[in-house]
Amino acid sequence: MEKQYVIDDITLKDTWRLFHIMAEFVEGFENLSDIHPAVSIFGSARCKEGDPLYIRTYNLAKLVAKGGFNIITGGGGGVMEAANRAAADGGVKSVGINIELPFEQKPNPFTNLKLSYRYFFVRKVMFLKYAVAYIVMPGGFGTLDECFEAITLIQTRKMRPFPVILVDSSFWDKIIDWMKESLLEQKLISKEDLDIFKVMDDPEEIVSYLKRFIIL
């Protein structure tokens, strides 16, 4: 009898959790509906101000802002902070969609539109739904998760195709070589799947590429 009570209690908690999930979706839909055009920028939370990756992200994001795009990030430190800082300095909307974690992720002070989420999957919907492009800087598991989610949704036609730009060929080429040697060679993906994303290094070229595909 006691075991049945525990199962029922877990079910009840899951049921009420749905209302929190719905509330997070509603908050995102209401706050992000007018940020078009926006570019989502991802990358490591672990780099510090002054690091080459931080500086590179800031300079790229500043050009993206100058090109007329608002900027969405995960709202934390590292690459996210650099991109939000550039957006704020560039006079565009600087959106930070933070995730509540017991470590590492803390909101940065450079957002002028800040949201906070408990659930990763809700947060990722906001990144995808309101972005016209993805710019992915070097990063760890979280960055790879966000990158491959976008690629998978485009591959399976669950969302519209849009530019997915992987910045820093010295970082991404090793991963792409593995895709070609392991995934493509074993026919686990198709050759055209590798066209979903583009590896680029030059900031001016990246912004020019965005403008060719996106109507501002």
Query: Which domains are present in the chain?
Result: 2-213 (3.40.50.450)
| pLDDT value, residue 65 | 97
Which residues pair with residue 96 across a beta bridge? 73, 114
For the chain, helix (H) and strand (E) counts, in that order, are 7, 7
Of 10 and 210, the one with more pLDDT: 210
Q: Per residue in 152-168, pLDDT tens?
A: 999 999 998 999 999 99
